[in-house]
Homo-oligomer: A and B are copies of this chain.
């Protein structure tokens, strides 16, 4: 496999994978492209390399900035904006954990707390209550795990990795 093939394969794989995670292909491919680029890229560059429209590039670059995964970079004497990805992969992981926690876990915790309060006064309601309690525990576990990742230092994570990996 040549380097260019590897690059294409990475960008393509990341894009395919993303859809399973509810992220659209363009956003994932933009992130992949910027991740492996040693130099900042301008909008035109990414449009050409990924063959996507200006609007698409603009919107998804903004979303990536919202996620804290890429940054704008201004070059002296250059009018246009360049983009560069966060290259510390553990920081990327922490950032993703943080966002997913905020967007996905927190709202569920709130709904579950509300639903746990329903009185268990019939067999059906009792079952409902049991399920809500159980889900609260599992979601609590997920929440704590994400929190640990978010707060952890890189070394701790690598340690955990090696510990379980043996």
Cβ of B38 and Cβ of A89 under 8 Å apart? Answer: no
CB-CB contacts of A66-102 with B at 8 A, as 1s and 0s?
0000000000000000000001011011000000000
A38 partner, pick from B22, B114, B127, B148, beta carbons under 8 A = B127
A158 partner, pick from B21, B35, B137, B148, beta carbons under 8 A = B137
- Interface residue SS majority, chain A: helix
Cβ of B3 and Cβ of A128 under 8 Å apart? Answer: yes
Q: Specify how many copies of this chain sit in the oligomer.
A: 2
Cβ of B115 and Cβ of A10 under 8 Å apart? Answer: yes
| Shortest Cβ distance from A154 into B: residue | B137
Number of residues on chain A facing chain B (CB within 8 A): 55
* Contacts from A to B (Cβ < 8 Å): 1, 3, 6-7, 9-10, 13, 17, 19-22, 35-38, 87, 89-90, 92-93, 103-104, 107-108, 111, 114-115, 118, 122-128, 130-132, 134-135, 137-138, 140-141, 144-145, 147-148, 157-158, 160-161, 164-165
